[in-house]
Each structure stands twice: as structure tokens, then as C-alpha cells.
Structure 1
Amino acid sequence: MFTTLVAVIAALVLGHLAPAPMAALRDWRWFGRWLGWLRAHGGEVAAGRFGLVLAIAPVVLLVAAVQWLLAGRLYGLPALLFGIAVLALCWGPRDLDRDVEAVIDADDAASHDEAVAHLQAAGGSLRADAPTLVDATLLNGLRRWFAPLFWFLLLGPLGVVLYRLLAQAVQGPQADAVAAASREGGAWALALLEWPVAQLMTLSMALVGNFDTVFSAWRRAGGNRWALDLAFLGEAARAGVGMELAEDAADAREAGLVPHAERHPELRDAMSMVWRMLLLWMALLALLIIAGWVG
């Protein structure tokens, strides 16, 4: 858990202080070339429903071997550094809050459309209306931040590498190099990995926002059913953001103030909610670490 907390802080700091070098390091085109070669030479296995297993397994097994070899050596320092490096590389790959700010600060239609496309790089509708942007912010928060964090916490470096490679093969630019049947199987596996993370994100959203509103939206969207569908995450986010904006406007009216005008207030509030959720996760990690040390 200590490794996870340090690695998350390192990934966030490196992404802000050195965005260009980190963007270059988080270049997954090599994986796209590997997928293309495997599709051309892998025969029926690579083109089948489980073709991505053949593509992802060698990389995950290599990371698992290094993780196992470093475990317990030199008081855990090599394992710590390896974990930080792996999570920093698998974080993102684009910086979520920078993409949100780019949408808000865009001065013309062309730059706004480009910023929206970057924000929706990890999934989401191509529309640019407020509810869609809120949905895209939470979905990209899941795929850029929370899912890598969850699987790193659960399985270590091999878990986050498994998730990132699968996400890149299904949702990233490398998806074009994957056969249709393999992409279908990969989409099912990706949904299986993301569903528990989306449930925890919704719970976090309820804790840092309006619990009743988020919980009602979660149930209305079918979040209480055993189905690999993430629609409940966007529904809960839109409901929570709408309620917070309404409460802010009501507070301003009671104080005799006029709510100040700003571009994309829903998007600002959605990004603020994502940050609060991440801080909640990190605070819980810190408490667990302290409890372990005390115990």
C-alpha cells in the first residue's frame, strides 16, 4: 500500500512537472506494432476471440517475473522503484486535468473541438454538450486514474500493465490493429476489470458529493444489477454535478449574490469531483498504511 501511495503521487507530480517527457514515455505505438505483427503472423489464434491473450501475456509475464525477482530485496527499495516506474508509465496516458482545462480555455471552435477529442481519448461520445462532457470526464477518470490505481493496489505492477495493455488494445489508437473477434473478447475482459472500479468510484462520488442524489441515479441506471455495463457511472456523475451546481446557485441567491458566469461550469465541477474522489482514495490508503505501522 505504501508503494501504491508513493507511486500515485509520483505519477501525478511527474505528469504536471514534465508533461512532454512523460507523454513521450507513455507512447504505446510499440504495442500497436506488436499487435499488427501478431495479427499478420498469428493465424487463426490471433484472429479469434482470445487473440489478445496471445498479445498481452508475454508482456505481463515479463513484468510479473521482474516483480517476483525484486520482492524482498534490499528492504524493498528496488520493488518500490519498479512499482513507481510502472505505474507512472501506465498512468494516463494523457493528463486528465490538463485536457479538461484545455476544453474550458479553448477560444475558438477548432481548438475547442481538438480539446474535446483529447478529453474523450479514452472513451466517450464525440458530442460536446455538457452532460456528455461530464460523462467523458468520469469515464476517462476511470481509465486514466482509478482503474490503474485499483489494479496496481490489488496485483502490483503486473495488474496495472495488464489493465493498460487491454485498454489500449480495445479503446486506444492500437485498437485498429486488433481483429474484430479479438476486440470483442477484449471488450468483455476490459468491462470485467472496470466494473468493480466504476462501482467504487460511484460510492466515492456519493461520499464526496450528495449521497441521496448519486445513489438514486445509480439505482435508476441499473448499477445494482450484475451486468457489465458502466452507464450508471455517467448517470450518477451527471446527477451529482447537477445537484451541486443547483446548490451553489441557491447559496448565492440566499447571500444576495449573482452566480458568476464561467465557461463549462459542469465540466469544472466534474473535474473537482474527480479530484475529491482521488483524494478520498489516497486518504484511505494513508490511513491503512498508518494502521499497519501502528499494528
Structure 2
Amino acid sequence: MPSALLVIVAVVAFARFAPGGAALRDARWYRGWAGWLGDRVQAERGERALAMLVVAALVLPAVVAVAVLDGLLARGFWDTVLAFVVLAWAWGPRDLDEDVAAAVRATDPPARHAALLRLYPRVTSVPGAGVDAVVHAALLRWFGVLLWFLLLGPAGALGYRLVALTADADMRVRLPGAVVDAAALVLRVLDWPAAQLMTLALALAGNFDAVVGAWRDWHSDGPGLDRGFLYAAARGCVRVELADAERDRNDALVVEIDGDAGAAPGFAAGTAELRDAMSLMWRVLLLWLAFVALIVISGWVL
């Protein structure tokens, strides 16, 4: 665990400060492998078992290879190097801060919507959609990878990223739709614990009442694998934080601070939502890292 914490901190710093780091996360090798296998498999929509087997055939070879190599290196220096390389590749695939900043810099609603699509392909134009996009991207790029890295090591981080790649809508040109749908189902299962832990961290790092209320309302009809409770909790938290911030300043000052002088009030509010949502994701990440650090310290003490 101490080495895992060091690897995580190093990867977060590398992703944040290394220019051009996203270029190192090239996944063309996996897309090529998926296209080759997809040309040889016919999976119809009703053949879920076959589609799941194809997903396993796509993901498991690389995951097993990394797991075996991780076991052979046995917690030495090169094992730490392997963990860093795999986690750095899985962390992304693009820089979250840069993509959110591109949406903030957008000068009109169509440009912003196009930028948000890079965060969440299913983003809509309804109020709060920018928060959904930021949180969705943070779950896929940061927290899902981080959770499975902590649970299963480098193989877990790699497996999560490959499943997420397989579930991407762009994969439908390489794989049968049933396979992509099966990968999306696996991804929802893998995301569920990470989304729950993110919601807990949101309650601690943001507004507790807003988050708990949104989580409770979403689960009023029973539990499920839908990630919507996480988005609802984040929207509630951001809404309360912005209301508190705007209580002490008038609308003109809000527009000026947001750098959108002359923009429509709704557009300026969307900019504030994006910034607050990104700040909230950083607070959640730091809270996760603090929890891991507490586990490490307690292990040393005990």
C-alpha cells in the first residue's frame, strides 16, 4: 500500500503537470485488436452470453499478462515502475482539467456543447448538464481506474480502462453492437462501487445535506446499477455552493468574474457550474488520497 500511494501521487502529478502526457496513452493497439477480433465474430443483440465471452477475450489477455508480470516482479523496484506505467496509461485517456477548461473557454452555447461532448458523449443541453459531464468524465478517467488499482493492482487499472474503451460508442465501427452493449453493462458494474464512494466523498467534501438528499431521492424506487445518483448528488452540491457564493455578490459581478461580460446569464451560470464541479472533483480526489494515506499510516503504527 505505501508504494501504491506513491505511484498514485506520481501519476496524478504526471497527468497534471507533464505537457503532452495524453499522447502516451495511445490505445490504437487495443482498437486494432478489437477490430481484428470483431471481424471474426458475429454477435447478435440477443446473444448476451457470446457477447460477454467476446468482451472477456478482448480484455483478459492483456490483464492476465500484466498480472503475471506483476507477480513475477514481486513488489520490487521494477514492480513499482510497472504500476506507474500501467496506471499512467489508464489515467485518462485525456487530461480532465484541459477538457473542462476548453468548455469554460467556449464563447457560445454550441461551442460549449461540442466541448462537453468530449467529457460525456450523452450530454444534453438542460441546466446542470455540464456538472454531469464533468462528474462522468472524472468517474471514467480518475476514480474508476483508481479504485480498481487499489483493489487489484496494475491489472485492475488496466482491466477497467480496457472495458471502458470497449464500451465506448466509437467501438461500434469495430465490434458488433451486442459486444459494446455487453461491455457497457460490465462497466456499469465496475463503476457502481466507485460511484458510491464518490458520493460519500462528495458529502464530506461538499454539502452533506444536498448530497444525502439527492442520493436518497434517487434510490426511492430501489437500488440499481444506474450512475444517475452520483450526477444528482453532484448537481445538488454544486447548486448549493453556487447559491452560497452568489449570496454576497450581484449578477453583474458574477458575470465579470466568470469572464463572460455580455454573455447570457444562463451561459455565465454554466461556466460557474463547470468551474465548481471541477473544483469539487479535485476535492473528492484529495479526500480519497487522504483516506489511502490514513490506511498507510495506520499500518505503520499498528
Output the TM-score relative to the length of structure 2. 0.87
1:120-165 Cα distance to aligned partner (Å, 9 max, x none): 2xx442x345411100111110000000000000000010111000
- Matching residue within 156, 165, 184 for 1:159: 156
Correspondence 1:266 to 2:273: yes
In structure 1, C-alpha distance between the alignment counterparts of 2:139 and 2:220, rounded to whole Å: 16
Which of 58, 61, 69 aligns to 1:58? It is 61
Partners of 1:216 and 1:109 lie apart in 2 by: 30
In structure 1, the partner of 2:195 is 198
Residue 18 of structure 1 corresponds to which residue in structure 2?
18
- Report SS of the residue matched to 1:229: coil
Aligned 8 A contact 1:6 1:84 in 2: no
Amino acid at match of 2:37: L
Deviations 1:109-130 (A, max 9, x none): 675344223232xx442x3454
SS of equivalent to 1:55: helix
Q: Structure 1 residue aligned with 2:50, among 29, 32, 48?
A: 48
In 2, Cα distance between equivalents of 1:279 and 1:91: 16
1:124 and 1:135 in contact (8 A); partners too: no
Give the Cα–Cα distance (whole angstroms) in 2 for the partners of residues 23 and 223 of structure 1: 40
Alignment-mate amino acid for residue 48 of structure 1:
L
Inter-partner Cα distance in structure 1 for 2:5 and 2:289: 7
Q: Give, as a single letter, the amino acid of the residue that structure 1 aligns with 2:39.
A: A
8 A contact 1:4–1:149 mirrored in 2: no
For residue 289 of structure 2, what is the amino acid of its counterpart?
Answer: M
1:245-277 CA-to-partner distances (Å, cap 9, x unmatched) read: 111122x15xx9975321410111111110000
Q: Which amino acid aligns with 2:288?
A: W
Matched, 1:235 2:232: yes
Distance (Å, rounded) in 2 between the aligned partners of 1:160 and 1:40:
27
Count of aligned pairs between the two proteins: 285
Amino acid at match of 1:17: F
Query: Which runs of structure 2 are paired with 1:85-234 in the superposition (5 Å)?
Result: 85-107=85-107, 111-120=111-120, 123-125=121-123, 127-171=124-168, 173-222=170-219, 225-234=222-231
CA distance in 2, matches of 1:231, 1:139: 10
Q: CA, structure 1 residues 172+94, in 2 after alignment: closer, same or farther (shift >3 Å)?
A: farther
Quick one: structure 1 residues 39 and 17, their matched pair in 2 at CA, closer, same or farther if it must change by over 3 Å?
Answer: same
SS of match in other structure, 2:93: coil
Query: In the alignment, what sits opposite 2:5?
Result: 5
Distance change in 2, residues 1:43/1:108 (3 Å):
closer
Unaligned runs of 5+ in 1: none
Which structure 2 residue ranges, 5 or more long, are not aligned? 259-267
Give the deviation of 1:27 after TM superposition: 1.1
In the alignment, the residues of structure 2 paired with residue 124 and residue 56 of structure 1 have an alpha-carbon distance, to the nearest angstrom, of: 24
| Deviation of 1:184 (Å) | 2.1
Contact conserved, 1:202 with 1:233, CA < 8 A, in 2?
Answer: yes
Q: How far off its partner does 1:91 sit?
A: 0.1
- Provide the residue aligned with 1:281 in structure 2: 288
Q: Are 1:130 and 1:266, in contact at CA under 8 Å, matched by a contact in 2? A: no
| Deviation, structure 1 residue 232 | 0.6
Identity over the aligned pairs, expressed in percent? 41
- Residues of 2 paired with 1:175 and 1:163: CA distance? 19
Aligned counterparts of 1:11 and 1:286: Cα–Cα separation in 2:
16
Whole-angstrom distance in 1 between the partners of 2:127 and 2:176:
34
Over the aligned positions, Cα root-mean-square deviation in angstroms equals 2.4
Q: Which residue of 1 aligns with 2:265?
A: none
Report the Cα distance in structure 2 between the residues aligned to 1:147 and 1:176, rounded to whole angstroms.
25
Work out whether residues 39 and 174 of structure 2, in 8 Å CA contact, stay in contact via their aligned partners in 1: no
Give the secondary structure class of the aligned counterpart of 1:48.
Answer: helix
Counterpart of 1:294, as a letter, is V
Aligned to 1:27: 26
For normalisation by structure 1, the TM-score amounts to 0.89
Contact 1:3/1:80 (CA < 8 Å) preserved in 2? yes
1:83 matched residue in structure 2: 83
Shift of 1:66: 0.6
Residue 118 of structure 2 aligns to a residue whose secondary structure is helix
